[in-house]
Amino acid sequence: MKTPDEWMREFEAKIADAQHKAAAVQEGLAGAQGAATSKDGSITVTVAPNGALTDLKFTADVMRRSHTQLAAEVVAVAREAQRAAAVRVAEAFGAVEGTDSETYRVITEYLPAPVEDEPERPRYAFEQELEEPAPPPRRSAPPRPADDDRDFSSESIFRNQ
């Protein structure tokens, strides 16, 4: 049976170990930001360890894109940056608890999927020839009956009977 002094020393050692691990995790999280740059280098996104946007940089080349293409590229680069931050957060916990720990397993279970390369698409919408939509077919007037008695005279339409 342990004496109160032995129990207290073990308890203090556990507290010191927990404090050391907490400090290591805190240090790891402090540097766990993520960053990504588009393939052509015109868009750079930086995010905090929780994935929150902290910086967004463009070069002048982004002005050649349509607003929809720019938005899609920013979202794709932001996803890459968020994944990079999430991987660094997982590494910070893995360094302290080990990669076989329950904490590490839970964190890595929710890592965003890697961004797959998309097939190359045309870069600029304004360079594409836009096809004019075909006009709707014209409806022809129905044939007039042979006994069409349209009267363009100035006489009254009311007949005296």
Q: What is the pLDDT of residues 62-95, one digit of tens each?
A: 888 899 999 999 999 999 999 888 888 888 888 8
CB neighbour list of residue 126: distance below 8 Å, 6 or more residues apart: 66
Separation in Å, CA 1 to CA 5, 11, 15, 149: 12, 15, 21, 122
Among the listed residues 116, 120, 54, 41, the one whose alpha carbon sits nearest the alpha carbon of residue 85: 54
Instruction: Give φ, ψ of 22 to 5 degrees.
Output: -65, -40
Q: For position 32, what pLDDT does the model report?
A: 84
Q: What is the pLDDT of residues 42-63, one digit of tens each?
A: 999 999 988 899 999 999 988 8
Q: Which of 43-47, 119-123, 124-128 has the highest mean pLDDT?
A: 43-47
Cβ neighbours of residue 97 under 8 Å, at least 6 residues apart? 21, 103, 104
Query: Do 75 and 51 contact (CB within 8 A), yes or no?
Result: no
CATH number at 34-116: 3.30.1310
DSSP state of 46: E
> Per-domain residue ranges for the chain?
34-116
